[in-house]
A and B are shown apart, each in its own frame.
Chain A
Amino acid sequence: AQKVTQAQTEISVVEKEDVTLDCVYETRDTTYYLFWYKQPPSGELVFLIRRNSFDEQNEISGRYSWNFQKSTSSFNFTITASQVVDSAVYFCALSNSGYALNFGKGTSLLVTP
């Protein structure tokens, strides 16, 4: 069975602080894919990143970075120098070989000025 745990329900930071969103996953498959999506107040899910199980390289995209560690089954997401526009619910998700996404419950991030 697949499972994604996002233990942080809500996080509140002040603008320009760095923040890390945790994601721990469970799967028996050797081939799988991990995703992060952003859901702003408007409601539409926005794709941020996809990572396959054979690629443990960390990735950086502007202020966003992702740390994938198979040894701890974690795929954490860090926002550097947070901005008010980063306020949203962030979902981590897991998929095996093209099937549907199994989402975590999400972490609500509030960035205040």
Chain B
Amino acid sequence: EAGVAQSPRYKIIEKRQSVAFWCNPISGHATLYWYQQILGQGPKLLIQFQNNGVVDDSQLPKDRFSAERLKGVDSTLKIQPAKLEDSAVYLCASSYLLANEQFFGPGTRLTVL
């Protein structure tokens, strides 16, 4: 069974530029999550989708971050414009059902200069 796929794996941008990350969850997983992991900390939820609807986006900085999950499968997370403090690893995870274990992708390491 293929795992959660993410791209790109690494991205370096200047502050105020835009960037987008892509995630393909495990086939059949209805729930998709985006987490932000700053160096030395645990992952923090940005947004949770159930199929193509948003379940929780309370910690998403909506003035600069946006996410969508068209057709309830792939998802894209965008940052526009980026700030220095956005430097982090962005992790995508999926689960078959709510409350099931979440499976994580390899992450995208973003560096904002």
Contact = CB atoms under 8 A, between A and B. Distances in A.
B45 A33 contact: no
Interface stretch (A13-21, A65-73, A100-108): A100-108
Interface in A27-51: 33, 35, 37, 42-47, 50
Interface residues of A, number: 25
A112 interface: no
**Residue from B42, B48, B109 whose CB has the most chain A CB atoms within 10 Å:** B42
Given A99-B56, A100-B33, A100-B56, A47 B101 contact: yes
B67 interface: no
Given A43-B106, A47-B101, A95-B99, A103 B56 contact: no
A93 B42 contact: yes
A113 interface: no
Contact of A104 (B42, B45, B104): B42
A101 B102 contact: yes
Contact of A100 (B45, B89, B101): B45
B12 interface: no
Contacts of B43: 45, 91, 101, 103
Contacts of A37: 104
Interface residues of B, number: 27
Nearest to A95: B99
A102 B104 CA distance: 15
A98 interface: yes
B98 interface: yes
B73 interface: no
A58 B35 CA distance: 29
A23 B89 CA distance: 24
Given A97-B98, A100-B33, A101-B102, A43 B42 contact: no
10 contacts: A35-B101, A44-B104, A45-B43, A45-B104, A98-B31, A98-B97, A99-B55, A101-B43, A102-B45, A105-B40
Interface of A: 4, 33, 35, 37, 42-47, 50, 52, 91, 93, 95, 97-106
